[in-house]
Amino acid sequence: MSGLVLELPGGGPPRDLSQDRCDRTAADGPWTVVVRRSGGSLAQRGAVITYPVATDPGRQVSGELTWPLAGSQAQIRGDVGAAGLAALADRVTVVGGRPRLDPPAGYVVTFTGPYRAAGVHEAGYGSAAAAEQDALGDGWVHTRLVDGGGFEDALYAAGARAAPAVGGHPAVLAGVREGSSLLCWEPEPGRVAFVTYGGGTEPDAAGGTAGCQTRGLTGCSAGARTPRN
């Protein structure tokens, strides 16, 4: 599994938390298809299809559609409008118990794989170690790198908004409240990097700096993932 750590100033003190978590049964649970319009990016101009889901058919939630499919229920969530979600839903089939999408013109499937993250690498730092005391006071910074479509689905549900790019990758910001926030970007299809930070009055500024300080590392295998349909 790949991970994400901060490049600390001058080498910096060691991180306060570092752990790998693997879900060996992720591939046995629901699967997702991530689809985007041309020019789309993480949780922007696209949708996530999940099958199967345990929810009421016809559930009425803005930006979400649930419908019966292959003896169970499927769900699509995104920001392409109600008509766009319905048009995509009409093109979903199930093959071998997993969802498949025949994308219409102007859309591309960027990832097909388990909903749950098969592997997570997490690292945590105090604001002093991350050189973010001005923005966060005695706050904290956590980094994670996860596989799977479930996290992007959650970003749509949270109403994530566009943020400045990180390392040339489009980014989004979510969960801004009470001095904490979540900065997310996609270093490669189907893999989401994020920095959670909080404890101060300027979380947006801190997250942008911390995002630019990140670098990848490599560890155990994360399990099943497919870049495209």
Per-residue pLDDT of 35-57, as tens digits, reads: 999 999 999 999 999 999 998 76
pLDDT of the residue at 156: 96
pLDDT of the residue at 86: 97
Beta bridge partner(s), residue 196: 142, 182
More confident residue, 125 or 71: 71
pLDDT of the residue at 57: 61
CATH of domain 2-24+116-218: 3.40.1000
| Domain ranges within the chain, ordered by starting residue | 2-24+116-218, 30-114
pLDDT at residue 68 is higher than 90: yes
pLDDT of the residue at 153: 96
pLDDT of the residue at 134: 61
pLDDT at residue 220 is higher than 90: no
Q: Quickly tell me which residue has 């969530």 as its tokens.
A: 77
More confident residue, 37 or 199: 37
pLDDT of the residue at 39: 93
**Distance between CA atoms of residues 203 and 193, nearest Å:** 17
pLDDT of the residue at 84: 97
Percentage with pLDDT > 70 across the chain: 69
pLDDT of the residue at 123: 81
pLDDT of the residue at 150: 94
More confident residue, 173 or 85: 85
3-state secondary structure 27-83: HHCCEEEEEEEEEEECCEEEEEEEECCCCCCCCCECCEEEEEECCEEEEEEECCHHH
| Segment 19-42 mean pLDDT | 93
pLDDT at residue 76 is higher than 90: yes
pLDDT at residue 107 is higher than 50: yes
pLDDT of the residue at 146: 86
pLDDT of the residue at 53: 96
Token output for 213? 């300080």
Average pLDDT for the chain? 78
The answer to whether residues 228 and 107 touch, using CB atoms and an 8 Å cutoff, is: no
pLDDT at residue 158 is higher than 60: yes
pLDDT band at 203 (very low <50, low <70, confident <90, very high): very low
Query: Is 102 in a helix, a strand, or coil?
Result: coil
The answer to whether residues 72 and 79 touch, using CB atoms and an 8 Å cutoff, is: no
25 CB neighbour count, 10 Å cutoff: 11
pLDDT band at 216 (very low <50, low <70, confident <90, very high): very low
